[in-house]
Chains A and B, each alone.
Chain A
Amino acid sequence: MTRNRRRLIVLLACGLGLGSASGLSLWALSSDVAFFSSPSQLLHEPPGPGRSVRLGGLVVAGSVRRTTEDGKPAASFRVTDGAAAVTVNFIGILPDLFREGQGVVTLGSLAPDGTFRAQEVLAKHDETYMPKEVAEALKKSGHWNPEKGPPPPASTWNTLSVPAAEANAKSGG
């Protein structure tokens, strides 16, 4: 066996060991690596009273109520992961991207009544990028309601021509 071949084998063995070690440790730490918990996780394993946690999910359509509290804007909405939902109360200005059906990540604690009191609300946007005209066309034609869920398969819209989409949107078809 040449020295080059020996070095190659030692290196590959080290890589294999290092790779599996880091894979296993990341897997073991996955709950700490996660940036937020889903409503199901939060309800299944409630954090201690007053403990600060992050709750993330989609804003339930029709659940947003905007009020004012002591002259400051406030909001109440439900956050869901499809299996469970938690009511979130927040005093402050919501991010621009906040809307029904949008992903959000909130930092706060679980109150004794089961609602979540948030100190911070971040908007989580998804991986779709589409021009306004295309989004309008999909909404008008009934192919997509952004408040209800994710957009239709990308191949149905990512090459739609914008003038055609605009015409579609105008005619309401």
Chain B
Amino acid sequence: MNENVLNAGRTGSAGAWLHRFANPGRFLRLVRPALPWLAVFSVVITATGLVWGFGFAPADWQQGDASRIMYVHVPSAWVAMAGYAALAGCSFFSIVWRHPLADLAAEEIGPVGAGFTFVCLVTGSLWGKPMWGAYWVWDARLTSVLVLFFLYLGHIALVRAFDSPERGARAGAILALVGVVNLPVIKFSVDWWNTLHQTATITLTGSPTMYVGMLWPLLFSALGMSFGFAAIVVARTRAGVMERRIRGLLMARAQQEAGGRLDMAA
């Protein structure tokens, strides 16, 4: 493994363990057998949660069937935020331990996280119109989630904006870490300020203020979408590792050919 040789010289004790665990070659070997299972599991669980929520869970006494939008809106919001936390975690490893796999994973998390944030915003809008009476309001919860969407878009653009991938990854990592302040703002916006968006239904401190027949499909859908997000990111990262290897091989080959031609000319 040439990655091991490269990294061995400049890692501390914590870093060494991390590098051993997550070098790109080992990542590929570890992930290949697990990915189909992860994909099947997430599709089955998500489909169960969504069909249950759409067709079988009881409707809310006030909101009627519109409350069924919850089963896509809430999980996508959770995944969008958890995905950003994962992006920030990768950025942290990238900056402190300069890990190449963390850079690749961060680059692949960005678009998927933006996609789920988009789903959260659109489904929320489709829920807001019939219930609140407005597709969009500028309250602290909605605005902070829109900021999350822009942070994802900014990260996507920034990591691809440099000629050298390392510099792009560094700039993206800094943006991702700065954006972490937005996560507690999203979570607590409904408690700290007056918002049109309601406060949390599921809390650590109390019993969820949701009927159990609605809670189960929500948890299924959330679990399935979380694993689905993970499966998509792992698959994209795997493709990214292979693409990087292809680029490396092609470049080496081109250099060899150029060298050969020079020899012949001389």
Contact = CB atoms under 8 A, between A and B. Distances in A.
B213 A162 contact: yes
Task: Give the contact-size bracket for chain B.
Answer: 35 or more
B194 A56 contact: yes
Contacts of A124: 132, 196, 198
A123 B198 CA distance: 11
Contacts of B206: 153-155
Contact of B132 (A30, A38, A122): A122
A125 B62 contact: yes
A61 to B, nearest CB: 16
Contacts of A37: 194
Given A5-B12, A15-B177, A35-B137, A97 B208 contact: no
A113 B180 CA distance: 47
Nearest to B218: A129
Contact of A129 (B60, B180, B181): B60
B210 A122 contact: no
Contacts of A158: 207-212, 215
Contacts of B213: 131, 162
A160 B137 CA distance: 35
B139 interface: yes
Contact of B181 (A19, A38, A120, A133): A19
A94 to B, nearest CB: 9
A4 B96 contact: yes
B33 interface: no
Contact of B133 (A34, A35, A95, A159): A95
Given A19-B181, A122-B134, A135-B61, 5 more contacts: A4-B14, A22-B181, A22-B185, A158-B207, A162-B58
Interface of B: 10-12, 14-15, 58-63, 67, 70, 92, 95-97, 130-134, 137-140, 177-178, 180-181, 185, 192-196, 198-201, 206-215
